[in-house]
Amino acid sequence: MAKIIFENELEELAAQLSRKFRVIVPVYEHEHSPFGKIIFTEYQKGQKLAFSYPTTNLPPKEFFLPPKDVLFEYKEGNPLLPKNQKTVIFGLSCEDLEGISQLKEIFKKPVTDTVYLEKTENTYLIGLDHFSPPKGIEFDLYLQKIKADTYAAFTKSVFGKKLASSKLFEQHNIKIPKVTRKKDSLIRDPELPKIIENSKDHPVWKELAEICFGCGICSYVCPLCYCFETEDEIDLPLSKDPKGRRCRTWDSCMLSHFSEISAHNFRPELTDRIYNWYYHKFVRMQHEYGFPGCVDCRRCTIFCPAKINYRSVLERLKKDYHPRRKK
């Protein structure tokens, strides 16, 4: 026996959840545009929900690490901490669930980011994909598409079990197919960190610098890019008891100012910044956290204005590395 829910009930599930929580769902937006057709946004009745979609333009990290996040405000000398609203993110793919789980690990160590972690503690995750529920990845409720209009329900928390016990779900004697999402053999290649470490002088970095705009879009759309800068905003005019806020905003190691300090820029050349992007994702993160900084969602390739495909770059580096090793 398995708990199932039919596709025509998914919107009703979102509607019911919205009565108690802020519910984030994938919806169709700008349907006549070739890019950015689907976005994650707060649920509103009447929206055209997109529960079967290739990818969204921004990953759901924006709800844990917003483009501009107020860390705290101060008024009359007193700090005012932000209040986190209970949130449900509904309709997450396996790639985005993996990204959320891994980004949480990154914000736990080496320094615990309490602001980020409090957001995750106030957020429930509902996955939806055609794969079997992924192991080692956080979710509360996971809906596996087993037929064109039918989803099997899997739970991993008290909240998820409570949802699956609602009248929208039915008990059926149905066989659930085992559909495993295989780990990518390229980005999970155990030799990849060594290959990139030995590629600093490879011509590919200069070739990429000739076409790359250095715009940072690859970082902004990546579920696992997390670089930010922090600044204080002071309300003017100044009074006896000033007030303002401390914010962090998205940054990118691809931008020319990222490695700049008062007297020096550590990576003034775009060539070095491109190499650093690959090095951090596939060398440093693998060493520090045990996983690469990539879930293979392809957003960086889809939305790159220069159409740079990171997989083609990695495949070329891998191909060129082995002949040199054999000599």
- Sheet holding 150-155: strands in order across? 38-42, 22-28, 87-92, 123-129, 141-147, 150-155, 2-6, 170-172
Distance CA 83, CA 90 (A): 21
pLDDT at 327: 46
* 94-106 vs 114-121: helix crossing angle, rounded to 10: 140
- For 199-243, write each residue's pLDDT tens digit: 999 999 999 999 999 999 999 999 999 999 999 998 887 777 788
Residue 35 confidence class, pLDDT cut points 50, 70, 90: low
pLDDT at 79: 86
With a pLDDT cut of 70, the percent of the chain lying above it is 96
Query: For the residues 259-276, what does the mean pLDDT come to?
Result: 88
Q: What is the pTM of this model?
A: 0.91
Q: Rounded to an integer, what is the distance from CA 76 to the centroid of its chain?
A: 37
Of the given ranges (34-48, 160-174, 222-236, 245-259), which has the lowest mean pLDDT? 34-48
How far apart are the C-alpha atoms of 155 and 166, rounded to whole Å?
13
pLDDT digits (tens, 9 = 90+) for 80-94: 888 899 999 999 999
> For residue 261, what pLDDT is reported?
78
Distance CA 271, CA 203 (A): 10
How far apart are the C-alpha atoms of 157 and 155, rounded to whole Å? 6
Q: Tokens 């957003």 belong to which residue?
A: 299
